[in-house]
Amino acid sequence: MWEYCGMARTEEGLTKALDLLKDLRESFWKEVRVPGSVSEFNPELDKAGRVADFIELGELMVIDALNRNESCGGHFRVEYQDNGEAKRDDDNYRYAAAWEFKGVDAEPALHKEELVYENIKLQVRSYK
Amino acid sequence: MIWFNDGGETFSNWGQFYRNQPNNSCDGTCSGGRLYYSHCRWLMLWKQNRDARPVKYAYSNPPAKSKWYSRSMGLLGTLLLIFLVIHSAHFWIPNRMQQGLTDWHNEIDLYGRMLEVFKNPLVVSIYVFGCISLFWHLLHGFKSAFQSLGVNHTKYNQTIEYAGIAFSVVIPLLFALMPISIYFGLVN
Amino acid sequence: MKFNLKVWRQKNANTPGKLVDYSIDNINGDMSFLEMVDVLNDNLVRQGEDPIAFDHDCREGICGMCSMYINGRAHGPQHAATTCQLYMRSFKDGDTVYVEPWRAKAFPVIKDLVTDRSAFDRIIAKGGFVSVNTGQAQDANNLPVNKAYAEKAMDAAACIGCGACVAACPNSAAMLFVSAKISQLALLPQGEPERNNRAIAMVNQMDEDGFGNCTNIGACEAECPKEIKLTNIARLNREYIAASVINE
């Protein structure tokens, strides 16, 4: 995640990350070993469950990063920039995205929350 | 009063005087009864507190700030209860047997009995030991009573502390001196 | 550093537990006690054994989850620190260290070093909150608060509800915890309207859960990682006595 879905992301890197995540998920479910038993209080099972969740969450993050063809805030796509400044695409991506996990091999569903600004005019932030 | 060495005259007179106060005729009985009652209540509380921890620690190292005598109030109290029973058996019960239910003035010679009882070194050591327990018991109990009633105030804590120490030194010391003086023949 | 550990292992509340010996080597003195147990657990998992269950969360001394009775002391030998803030340099190389869970009827063991501390939640649910509507944030001068009281309330509010007071108390009493929660509200105007009902309800719940009684020993104050004072217990006694007299 750090390498391919970090501060700066590229389409190539994100696609690779999707493949890597698939492998990771497979090896996790094949090789995971949880000590203790199900019938007792088991913090190790809790930890394993969290790792499984993180794999799903990571995949959704990568999919979202791949889907959003612009640079905005903490999401900096190397392909979309003006000399190192983030290049936003407000016409196509003016929404907050929530992805719904639909299963391992199913496409996740995108839920959009449109961002409506009543009192301010949208403009590019300048740090110069 | 016993140290006047007048054959117990002052002792008996003051005793009679104390008991003859209009509202005081049964005061000794009441306060004795109160002591028994409160000890039994505390023992019940002690039992409750023990039950609150069914599995004990395998290794315990209490912090220095919590004093051993504060932690051992149950033990000290039980020792005092036993002491109280012995004390009652020596003086209070024989006296009441003599007086019966109504005849409050017909007392046995308590002073004489005291001289008699305190000749036995075993009894004297029980009394001295009882008073030592009483000292530690009061050292915690006096201060603790104020805290339990919600009196904890920076302005008065020092006073309570010193009064508690004085109280727990003076009372057991005077009580212990009686059998010691008699045993060593300072009073006769 | 090298340590010999005697750790309480207990499968569940109904099975009796026992101390089990472990030895551990290559421990850095700057590791916290919990990190040392992490390393031990890692070793155990590698050996195919069941790792030690223990409570932990923030690991910065503010959440109140960690709860180990170490060498006969709640949260170990260091003063005013939780187990996560206890560092291995506080021990000598080669020391034998006893690790036990909190012991109280009201805190049954769930597994190993993990106890069920929901009794504290039940006490809080009985009145450790302000339910009267205090409205919008208003000008500070509208609600004058004595500075000394504000300080005392703040000190009482430092309680993280870890249960070290119960663990350290020879009577397993929860008075320090309850008194801190009652004090932080009783000292401030927002807590005033409900103070009587609060004192009665919280004390009753405390008794119902099987905690012991306070006999003013002071072990709780000495062991509290947040240095909650015994004066709070005196205040709780005052609040309770007053409420018992006044309440209908």
Q: What is the pLDDT of residues C4-19, one digit of tens each?
A: 999 999 999 899 999 9
| Pair C184, C153: CB distance under 8 Å | yes
Domain assignment of residue A104, yes or no: no
Instruction: Report the range of poorest mean pLDDT among A67-76, C90-99, C178-187.
Output: A67-76
pLDDT at B15: 66
CA atoms within 13 A on the CB side of C134: 15
Mean pLDDT over all residues of chain A? 91
- How many helices (DSSP H) and strands (DSSP E) are in chain B? 8, 0
CB contact under 8 A, B49 and C212: yes
Q: Which chains touch C (3 or more CB pairs under 8 A)?
A: A, B
pLDDT at C29: 95
Quick one: tokens of B104? Answer: 């409050």
Q: State the average pLDDT over residues B161-173.
A: 95
| Pair A108, A61: CB distance under 8 Å | no
Q: Which band of pLDDT confidence, cut at 50, 70 and 90, is reported for residue A121?
A: confident
Instruction: Report the range of poorest mean pLDDT among A118-127, C177-186, C205-214.
Output: A118-127
Query: What is the model's pTM?
Result: 0.86
Domain assignment of residue B147, yes or no: yes
pLDDT at C72: 95
Task: Determine the residue among B60, B73, B139, B157 to mutate to test chain C binding: the one whose Cβ has the most chain C Cβ atoms within 10 Å.
Answer: B60
User: Token match 């009267």: residue?
Assistant: C132
pLDDT at B25: 47
Domain assignment of residue B117, yes or no: yes
Q: State the average pLDDT over residues A102-128.
A: 87
- The DSSP line for chain C is --EEEEEEE-SSTTS--EEEEEEE----TTSBHHHHHHHHHHHHHHTTPPPPP---S-SSSSS-----EETTEET-SSTT--GGG-BGGGS-TT-EEEEE---BTTB-EEETTEE--HHHHHHHHTTSS--S---S---GGGS---HHHHHHHHHHHT-----HHHHH-TT-B-HHHHHHHHHHHHTSGGGGGGHHHHHHHHHHHHHHTT-B------HHHHH-TT---THHHHHHHHHHHHHHHH--
- Can you give the CATH number for the domain in which A52 is found? 1.20.58.100
Measured between alpha carbons, how far is C85 from C62 in angstroms, rounded to an integer? 10
CB contact under 8 A, C217 and B70: yes
CA atoms within 13 A on the CB side of A28: 16
Task: Determine the residue among B48, B53, B71 to mutate to test chain C binding: the one whose Cβ has the most chain C Cβ atoms within 10 Å.
Answer: B53
- Give the rounded distance of the alpha carbon of C214 from its chain centre: 16
User: Is the per-residue pLDDT at B22 higher than 60?
Assistant: no
Q: Which band of pLDDT confidence, cut at 50, 70 and 90, is reported for residue B101?
A: low
Topology (CATH level 3) of domain C3-111? Ubiquitin-like (UB roll) (3.10.20)
Structural domain that includes position B99: 8-183
pLDDT at A40: 86
* ipTM > 0.85 (yes/no): yes
Count of structural domains within chain B: 1
User: Is the per-residue pLDDT at B92 higher than 90?
Assistant: no
CATH architecture of C118-246: Orthogonal Bundle (1.10)
Mean pLDDT over all residues of chain B? 85
Domain assignment of residue B2, yes or no: no
CA gyration radius, chain C: 20
CB contact under 8 A, C215 and B70: yes
Structural domain that includes position A65: 8-88
Question: Which residues in chain C are classed under CATH 1.10.1060.10?
Answer: 118-246
pLDDT digits (tens, 9 = 90+) for C13-65: 899 999 999 999 999 999 999 999 999 999 999 998 999 999 999 999 999 99
C236 to chain B: closest CA residue: B150
Q: State the average pLDDT over residues B141-165.
A: 93
- Chain C contact for B100 (CB, 8 A cutoff): no
Mean pLDDT over all residues of chain C? 95
- The DSSP line for B125-167 is HHHHHHHHHHHHHHHHHHHHHHHHTT---HHHHHHHHHHHHHH
Count of structural domains within chain A: 1
Residues in B touching C210 (Cβ below 8 Å):
51-52
Nearest-CB residue to C110 (from A35, A41, A44): A41
Measured between alpha carbons, how far is C182 from C175 in angstroms, rounded to an integer? 10
User: Is the per-residue pLDDT at C237 higher than 50?
Assistant: yes
- Chain C contact for B125 (CB, 8 A cutoff): no
Domain assignment of residue A96, yes or no: no
Residues in B touching C211 (Cβ below 8 Å):
52
CB contact under 8 A, C12 and A44: no
- Chain C contact for B13 (CB, 8 A cutoff): no
Q: Which band of pLDDT confidence, cut at 50, 70 and 90, is reported for residue C183?
A: very high
User: Is the per-residue pLDDT at B151 higher than 50?
Assistant: yes
Q: Which band of pLDDT confidence, cut at 50, 70 and 90, is reported for residue C120?
A: very high
